[in-house]
Amino acid sequence: MAGIRIENLHVAMGGAKILRGLDLDITSGEWLNIVGPNGAGKTTLLRAILGSLDYEGSITVDGAAEHPSAGLARSIAYVPQVAVIPPGMLVTDYVLLGRTPHRGAFAADSPNDLAVTAEVLERLDLGLFMTREVRSLSGGERQRVVMARALAQQTPILLLDEPTTALDLGHQQDMLELVEELRHERGLTVVATLHDLTLAARFGERLALIDTGRLIQVGLARDVLTVDTIKTHFHANVRIIDDEGGPVVVPA
């Protein structure tokens, strides 16, 4: 398991400040959802943790500073909002790319690599698509393939940027329930951005609300997702239904 500590994180792009002095501790084995309006800096935060952009401040993983390197791919798997899919790439071959950190770029696929890939494809309801080209799939099917590649990577940290994009309701639940199941099986640390506040409240343990690059509040969903907070930061009028599975946010 691996925790993440972020201290005084600043990110600027093109002269604009995207993240401003952000401090956040993510406990080993925790699922933390990042919420906030469009342009708040949610994706930028994930990319900073991944090490794919320059930043000021400190990000440590399991007590050691992480930088882009060959070893990083064994620590962190990332599911972007929009993945780059090579032309002609078959589903099985794409998911097998997640095994590259464990075998090297030019080594042959081992029986274990093939077994891990097959298991992940089945658990994400992709068994019938193994020989299909990824680009021939629907947006939701493609998103599940991208998730499968990340899960095949078998890292202790999983970063998910809007993982339910383009998925129907049933597959949204299936994917998030699988992540929760694997989190308990493997002790995964999960950090996800989610636009759907009800999903964000029902999956994971804590929410972190970000707006204009600043951390506004961290805590349980019922404490973070209030009518006043949503009106202030999302400019939306909502009602919140208190449900045993977590607050349900609906338009007022």
pLDDT in tens, 8-66: 999 999 889 999 999 999 999 999 999 999 999 999 999 999 988 999 999 988 766 55
pLDDT in tens, 225-247: 999 999 999 999 999 999 888 89
- Do residues 230 and 238 touch, judged by C-beta distance below 8 A? yes
Contacts of 130 (CB under 8 A, 6+ apart): 90, 91, 92, 118, 121
pLDDT in tens, 86-115: 999 999 999 999 998 887 667 788 999 999
Residue 153 pLDDT > 60: yes
Confidence band for 71, pLDDT divided at 50, 70 and 90: low
pLDDT, residue 213, reads 96
Give the start-to-end residue ranges of the domains of the chain: 4-75+156-251, 87-154
Query: What is the pTM for the complete model shown?
Result: 0.90
Residue 1 pLDDT > 70: no
Q: Is the domain defined by 4-75+156-251 classed in CATH 3.40.718.10?
A: no
Query: Could you identify the residue written with the tokens 């962190």?
Result: 76
Residue 68 pLDDT > 50: no
pLDDT, residue 79, reads 94
Confidence band for 70, pLDDT divided at 50, 70 and 90: very low
Cα–Cα nearest to 142, from 167, 162, 160, 116: 167
pLDDT, residue 82, reads 85
Cα–Cα nearest to 141, from 169, 177, 180, 168: 168
182 backbone dihedrals φ, ψ, rounded to 5°: -70, -30
pLDDT, residue 182, reads 87
Q: How far apart are CA 56 and CA 220, in angstroms?
A: 28
Higher pLDDT, 139 or 193: 193
Higher pLDDT, 165 or 199: 199
Q: Which residues pair with 249 in a beta bridge?
A: 240
